[in-house]
Amino acid sequence: MITEKSLSLEEMVYTNLEEEILSGKLTRGTSLGEIPISLRLGVSRTPVRGALHRLSEDGLVEILPNRGAVVLGINSEDLIDIYHIRMRLEGLASTSAAERISEEDLTKLSDAVELAEFYINKKDTEHLKELDTQFHSIIYRASGNRLLNKVLSELHRKTKAYRKLSLSVPGRLEKSAFEPREILMAIKERNPEKADRLTSLHIERALENMLSSNTK
CB-neighbour burial class of residue 215 (10 A; exposed 0-12, middle 13-18, buried 19+): exposed
Q: For residue range 112-134, list pLDDT tens digits in order.
A: 999 988 988 888 878 888 898 99
On the question of pLDDT at 4 being above 50, the answer is no
On the question of pLDDT at 12 being above 50, the answer is yes
- Find the helix packing angle between 76-100 and 192-214, rounded to 10°: 160
On the question of pLDDT at 186 being above 80, the answer is yes
Dist. CA 1–CA 200, nearest whole Å: 48
Determine the pLDDT at residue 7.
Answer: 55
Determine the pLDDT at residue 159.
Answer: 84
- Report CA torsion sign: 28, 31, 34, 40: negative
CATH 1.10.10.10 domain residues, the chain: 4-71
Question: Considering the entire predicted model, what is its pTM?
Answer: 0.79
CATH 1.20.120.530 domain residues, the chain: 76-214
Q: CA–CA distance from 98 to each of 78, 175, 184, 185, 197 (Å)?
A: 29, 22, 9, 10, 12
Determine the pLDDT at residue 120.
Answer: 84
Determine the pLDDT at residue 177.
Answer: 65
CATH of 4-71 given 3.40.50.11540, 1.10.10.10, 3.40.50.2020, 1.20.1260.10: 1.10.10.10
Q: CA–CA distance from 107 to each of 26, 81, 113, 139 (Å)?
A: 37, 32, 10, 12
CATH topology of domain 76-214: Four Helix Bundle (Hemerythrin (Met), subunit A) (1.20.120)
Sequence-distant (6+) residues with CB within 8 A of 41 are 12, 13, 16, 48
Determine the pLDDT at residue 198.
Answer: 97
| Amino acid symbol at 54 | R
